[in-house]
Structures are given as C-alpha cells and as structure tokens.
Amino acid sequence: MFVTGLLLAAEGSPHLGVPWQSLAYNGETLLGSTLDTARECGFDQLIVTLGTASEQIHDRIDFDGVRVVVSPHADTGSSSIVPALDAVDRRTDGIVVLLGDQPGITSAAVWSLVAEVAGPSTPLGISHYDDGPGYPVWCARELFGGLRQLRSDDDLWQLADHHPVTQVDAIGNIPPRIRTWPDYHRTLGHPAPDDPPHTSLTARPRRRRTTH
C-alpha cells in the first residue's frame, strides 16, 4: 500500500502575532518537530502545506524530502487540503492527515491507524482518543473527490456523515493544538502568561532544503 502523509501547516496564527510554525519547541521549531515525527512514520510520500508566511518559514525549517504546497488563502479559512491533492502521487492509496501545530501526535498513533486501514478497503479512518475523535485521519483515494469539495480544512470531519468510518483506538486524550500563547506555554510545561514571549522563543533559522 502506498501512503501519503499530509501535514497541514498553512493556517495562520492571529492570536500569536508571529508564525506559530517558527516557535521554539523541543530544541528546534514547532513545525520542524511535527515534521520530524511525520518523517518517522515512513510515509511513501510526505507533503506539507504552508500559507502566507511560507517565505519566513522556509528560512527556519528543513524541508528535505518533503513536497511543499503553498496555500495562500488558508489564512482566510480556505482549505489547504484541496491544493495539496494536486501534489499527491498517482500511486497513492490514501492520505494520512496530520496537523503541524499538534506536536503530541506520535508516529505510533499513525502506525496504528495505517495498520487498521491496510486490510479491507476503509474509506475513512479516524483516531479515537479517550475524550473523542481526532487526528491522524485516513482518507482513501475514493474520497479524494469529496476532499476537493472542502471549503475549509475543518470540513474534513463532515465526511464522517456520508461515509463508513473505522475508529482506531489511540492512547490518552486528544493532543492539544498550539493556537495561543497559553496553549504554547502549557505545552512547554510553563506558566501561561497572557503576554507574548521574548524573541528568544523564536527558533533560530535552519538550513533550507526543499523537494518540489
């Protein structure tokens, strides 16, 4: 089975005031960390979507071996999944959707999901945590037509209203997303002040390597 990983990182960060992708996290950047996890999954193809801050992000993150798709309208709520579909390898049986601002998702959760959908044809596979459904999500090729109709990335969940769903158990609660400064500080295990952090919390640039 040929599997494409799709890491969504095009959404802006209006509550932060700086690109969330470049925040310091786990010794590098937040997006760099989630990208490393995606690489650990061993996808046959790995795609990452970027938005209007793509130029700033390119200077700070290593995209070696990754297909980058720029979705400039994602900040206004448009789906970044739709343009990414044009970059999906024609051999792909399906995509595993991940979020770039959700560093708690593990490669083990991805492997469990893929193992469940690798047998009988499964159009839609959703990870199910102790507190409900979440990412990663599996979408088989037969759903690509429906994916192209999405207005926003969050509309992905509406596919569950129209297609059979395989729920795959995932350990613990849904990993938190980092959308605000309190989110960020809680994820780091620090107190959560309301004020933006100092510039030292923005990771240093990394050498850029991009696969087109």
The pLDDT of residue 194 is 53
The span from the CA of 200 to the CA of 212, in Å, is 31
The pLDDT of residue 197 is 47
Give the number of C-alpha atoms closer than 13 A to the C-alpha of residue 101, restricted to the C-beta side.
Answer: 20
Other CB atoms within a 10 A radius of the CB of residue 16 amount to 17
pTM of the model: 0.88
Mean pLDDT on 53-69: 89
Mean pLDDT on 56-70: 90
| Proportion of the chain above pLDDT 90, given as a percent | 70
Number of H helices, E strands in the chain: 6, 10
The span from the CA of 150 to the CA of 78, in Å, is 8
pLDDT per position as a tens digit, 155-191: 999 999 999 999 999 999 999 999 899 999 998 887 6
Mean pLDDT on 23-45: 95
Read off the DSSP letter of residue 121.
-
Give the number of C-alpha atoms closer than 13 A to the C-alpha of residue 209, restricted to the C-beta side.
Answer: 5
pLDDT per position as a tens digit, 108-162: 999 999 999 876 678 999 999 999 999 999 999 999 999 999 999 999 999 999 9
The pLDDT of residue 17 is 83
Which one has a higher pLDDT value, 31 or 75? Answer: 31
For the chain, give the mean pLDDT. 88
